Structure 1
C-alpha cells in the first residue's frame, strides 16, 4: 500500500469520516460558529446542509468530540426515511426507555419523563439527526412536538438537523413545515472548499498521517485538484487516494498536474463518473492551434448540434408567444371585472392556443 511506500502511519485520505482529520475550512468555521451560537441558546433547531461529501458527518463527529457529557446528553440518529412512530422509539431508546409494545401516547409520556430525568441531573439533551432530507413530514412534525417539552421555562430538548441541499429547499418551501421553520435559530450551508484551501487541506491530512515531505507536490497541482473535484472533500479524498497509489506504483517523488491527469484518465476508463466534475483539467490552458497561414484554427461546427440549437430556439419562441397570449387574456379578464372562466387556468390556456 502507498502508506508503506511513503512512510505514512495510516492512509490520510480514507473515505470513512474521521473527526481526527477535521479541517477548519472557511465554510466549516462558519458552521461551527452557528453551532456554537445555537447550542448557547439551548433551544429550537439548528440546521446544517451540504452536498454529498461536503463533510457533514465529519462535522457531527467533531461536534460530539467537543461536547462535555456532564453538560449535554447526546442522542444521534442517522435517518433512513423513519416514520413518526419509529422516530419516537429511536428517541426513547436514546433515553434508555424500553419502547416495545408502547402506544404513541405512552411513548410521548415516557420521553417527556426521560427528558425531565436528564434535566434533573443538570444536563440538557441534544438530538442530532443526520440525513434529515429522508424524513417524512410526519416525522419532522413529531420532532417539532418534542421540542415543545419544557421545564421551568427552559427547553428540555434541542435538535440538530443535517441534510442535503434539498432538505433546506423543502424546509423553506413547504407550508406544512412553517411551525418548524419558525423554531430554527441557526442555519448554514456547507460550501465546497475554495481553491486556495486545497493545499492546506492536503498538507493537514498528510501531516496527521506522519508525512515527512515525500512525496512532494508541484505548485501547479493544487489548482488541478480543485478543478477536478469541485473542492468537495470526499471527492478530493477519493482522487488523492488514487494519486498517491499511482505515485507509489510509479515511484514518483513529485506529484504534479500531469500525474493527476493521468490518474483521472485511468479512473475515467474504469469509472466514468470519477471524471464527471471536470472532463479536461489543465494547470495552464493550451494555446489555440495555429494554421500554417498564422491565424487561429476554427473547428468546423457540428451540423447536428446546430440543428438541435435551432429546434430549441424555435421551441422557446413558441413558448414565449403562448405565455404572452395567456398574460394578455388574464389582464383583459381582470380589467373587465368578468367572472372567472370555467375551467380556470386550463380554460385560459385553451383560449390562448
Structure 2
C-alpha cells in the first residue's frame, strides 16, 4: 500500500521469513556457519534455539537455500504438531522415497537405502524440524532412533537439526529424553538484537527494499523502537510496517514518537520501564482518529 509512496520495490518489513532480507548480524552469521559445519562434519544432532521472532525460521530458510545449491538431500518439517505416522509420511514425501504405503517400516527401509547410497557418494542427508518444541514425546523418540543410522566408516548418515523456542531445551532435559540430549553435539542460539543491531537491521531492510538513504526513522525514534520491541526482529518488523502505513495515511515522510506510541498501544506491547498508561492521550491522528488527517469544515457564519 505504501510502497509507491516511499518508492519501495517491495515491502521492507514483511512478516513472512524471506532470506533475501536476512540481516547478517554476527550471531546470525555464526549460527548459520555452525549449522553448515554441523551438516558437513556429520555431527548428527544439532539444536537451534531462540525466543519467538528472533529469526530461527529465516535462518532455516537460508540453510535450505544453501543445501539446495549444494545438491544436498534434505527433508524440512515445518508443522511439528504431527503424529509419528505423519512424521514418517512427511520424510518420505520430502525425500521422494519410493514407498507404496509410506508405513514406518517401509519408510525406514527406503530411508536407510538412500542414506547409504548418498554416503557412498561422499554426500550426506539432512532432516530439519522447525518448531521442534511442539513435537510429541513419541515423535522425539523416533527422531532419537533415526540418529542411530550410522556407519563405522562413514559416520552419521542423517544430520538432524531441531529448531525451536527455549522450551525445546527444557523439553530435552526430561529424564525420558536423556539419551537424545546426550547425542546433541552442537548447539546454536539466537538472541534479541542489541541497539546497534536494531539500527543496522532497519537500515538494511529499507536499503534492500529501495531506500538506500533512509530518513523515515530518526535515530532517536530507532532507539525507542529498539526499547519497545526489546530487539526482537519480528516485533521490529510489525512496528516499522505500521509506522510506514501511518506515514502514508498522513502523507508524511518521517515517522514520529506520537505515531510509535499509538502503534504500541494498539499492539498491546509491554517492555521494561514502560510508562503507566494515562487517560485521554491522543495518537498521531488526534482524538477523532484518522478523520483528523482531513481538514475541518469551516463554521457557518
User: Which of residues 266, 270, 281 is equivalent to 1:277?
Assistant: 270
The 1:256/1:197 distance shift into structure 2, 3 A limit, reads farther
Ranges in structure 1 where 5+ consecutive residues have no aligned partner: 269-273, 283-353
In structure 2, the residue matched to 1:338 is: none
Deviations 1:18-76 (A, max 9, x none): 00011122332332243233224213111011122111110011112223554521211
TM-score by length of 2: 0.83
Deviation at 1:131, TM superposition (A): 0.9
Larger helix percent: 1
SS in 2 for 1:255: coil
How many correspondences in the alignment? 274
* Cα pair 1:216 1:254 within 8 Å, conserved: yes
The 1:277/1:100 distance shift into structure 2, 3 A limit, reads farther
Give the superposed CA RMSD.
Answer: 2.1
Greater relative CO (CA pairs within 8 A, separation 6+): 2
Deviation at 1:205, TM superposition (A): 0.3
* Cα pair 1:220 1:256 within 8 Å, conserved: no
Ranges in structure 2 where 5+ consecutive residues have no aligned partner: 276-301
Structure number with bigger Rg: 1
Determine the C-alpha separation between the residues in 2 that align with 1:4 and 1:102: 49
In structure 2, the residue matched to 1:88 is: 88
The 1:19/1:115 distance shift into structure 2, 3 A limit, reads same
Deviation at 1:258, TM superposition (A): 3.2
Determine the C-alpha separation between the residues in 1 that align with 2:214 and 2:226: 21
TM-score by length of 1: 0.72
Determine the C-alpha separation between the residues in 1 that align with 2:241 and 2:37: 36
My pick for the range that moved more, 223-232 or 25-34, is 25-34
In structure 1, the residue matched to 2:59 is: 59
Determine the C-alpha separation between the residues in 1 that align with 2:207 and 2:89: 43
Deviation at 1:100, TM superposition (A): 4.5
Deviations 1:102-161 (A, max 9, x none): 543333222211222333443210111111111112111211211221243422110111
Deviation at 1:96, TM superposition (A): 1.6
